[in-house]
Amino acid sequence: MAKSAKLSKVKGTNLDDVFQIGDPDFSYDGKKGIDIAIFESSFEDFDFARKGTGNDKVTVTDSTGGIYEFKKVETILFNNGTADLGDDVYYNTATGATTRVDTQIDASAQDGGEMFVGSGNSVNDFVVTQSESAGVELALAVKYRQGPSQDPVSVDADGTVHFQVEDGAQSTTNGSSSNNANRAAWSFDYSIATGLDGATTDLSDFTFKLLIDVDPTAGTEFRELTMVDPGVAVPNDTGFIWVDQDGIPRIGDDGGNANVAQNSENYAFGFIEDFIDADPNTPGQQPYAPGFGPAEFDIRLEAYDGGHNLIAANQIAVEVIDFV
């Protein structure tokens, strides 16, 4: 069915709109705000076409030829008709990337059922964003350090996935294998995989950024790390390191290979904790360690192609709570 004037039009409110999608042959204009369209169907039942008009315009076609057009609608959710977050697929209209919540990383990013980095790091319970056209996967997970991974609790309209963890230091109370007063209770894992679906690319064909929030309030202040080739031999199998916005090396021990980069980080590590002011209302910088108190931190992975175009992004928000 070709695009025509037969499509009925639905317009947003200039606020954050939620469009519940039913019958086909409708055109949705989200206008301003952060908007989401929700299909009570499976992602695999549809085809997608994006137009580079600057308005993130997407045409979705179902198996019968029915058409749904979206303009300025940031996210399209396919929930498979269930309330289980594990069934959800989020389609980002700006990049065409998809995000699945609470799933495994790609088989190419696994080493005998574990991550390449460390020992015993699980490949399950990740938030996984994939760009099918570029063959790139960006994945983030939250866990108690040396303990169990955590399930997400909610997802925002822009695709940000929320987690909740206990505050304080690493503790067996949370399922960690040991107590460690010098580490925060929780850690986050990241995994980057390239060359998916037959793509002949590797890590060197893209630019990857890791943004780590150091503002403990609901606001954000990101430390931006970029994966770079230092031009000299490095003691890891990826050949890359991460440098901050000042060009200072911050992470150099990723596990992986030419196609995969992975690691596990903790908010007690100096390249993060050194930049956190635990109490912005008190003069001077107040250390976050060793208390590791209540906070909210966002973590974001980004992938850019050779033309510096954003092709995929994965963002989580970790709410650190005193549950007692």
pLDDT, mean of residues 271-288? 96
Q: What percentage of the chain exceeds 90 in pLDDT?
A: 94
pTM: 0.96
Residue of 37, 42, 15 whose CA lies nearest to 100:
42
Token match 């980080």: residue? 265
Query: Above 80 in pLDDT, residue 54?
Result: no
Q: Which long-range contacts (CB under 8 A, 24 or more apart) does 46-51 make?
A: 46/78, 48/91, 48/96, 50/93, 50/96
pLDDT, mean of residues 33-41? 97
- For 46, counting Cβ atoms within 10 Å of its Cβ (0-12 exposed, 13-18 middle, 19+ buried), the class is middle
Please tell me which residue, 242 or 235, carries the higher pLDDT value: 242
- Residue 52 pLDDT level (bands cut at 50, 70, 90): low
- Residue 53 pLDDT level (bands cut at 50, 70, 90): low
pLDDT, mean of residues 58-74? 96
pLDDT, mean of residues 98-114? 97
pLDDT at 3: 45
Query: Above 60 in pLDDT, residue 2?
Result: no
> b/e for 277-304, b at 16 or more Cβ within 10 A?
bbeeeeeeeeebbeebeebbbbbbbbbb
* Tokens found for residue 228: 């770079």
Any idea how long the chain is?
A: 324
- Residue 27 pLDDT level (bands cut at 50, 70, 90): very high
CA 293, CA 216: separation in Å to the nearest integer? 9
Provide the 3-class DSSP secondary structure of residue 232.
coil
* Tokens found for residue 74: 């940031």
Encode pLDDT of 164-174 as tens digits. Answer: 999 999 999 99
pLDDT, mean of residues 194-219? 98
- Residue 162 pLDDT level (bands cut at 50, 70, 90): very high
Question: Angle 230-232-238 (CA atoms, 0-180°, nearest 5)?
Answer: 70
Q: Which long-range contacts (CB under 8 A, 24 or more apart) does 149-154 make?
A: 149/122, 149/124, 149/125, 150/125, 150/186, 151/85, 151/102, 151/125, 152/85, 152/101, 152/102, 152/127, 152/316
Amino acid at 173: T
pLDDT at 106: 98
pLDDT at 1: 40
pLDDT, mean of residues 55-59? 85
Query: Above 70 in pLDDT, residue 4?
Result: no
pLDDT, mean of residues 222-233? 97
Residue of 247, 220, 251 whose CA lies nearest to 234:
251
Mean pLDDT of the chain: 96
pLDDT, mean of residues 102-130? 96
Q: CA separation (Å) from 38 to 51, 82, 224, 284?
A: 20, 12, 32, 46
Encode pLDDT of 237-275 as tens digits. Answer: 999 999 999 999 999 999 999 999 999 999 999 999 999
pLDDT, mean of residues 40-47? 97
pLDDT at 271: 98
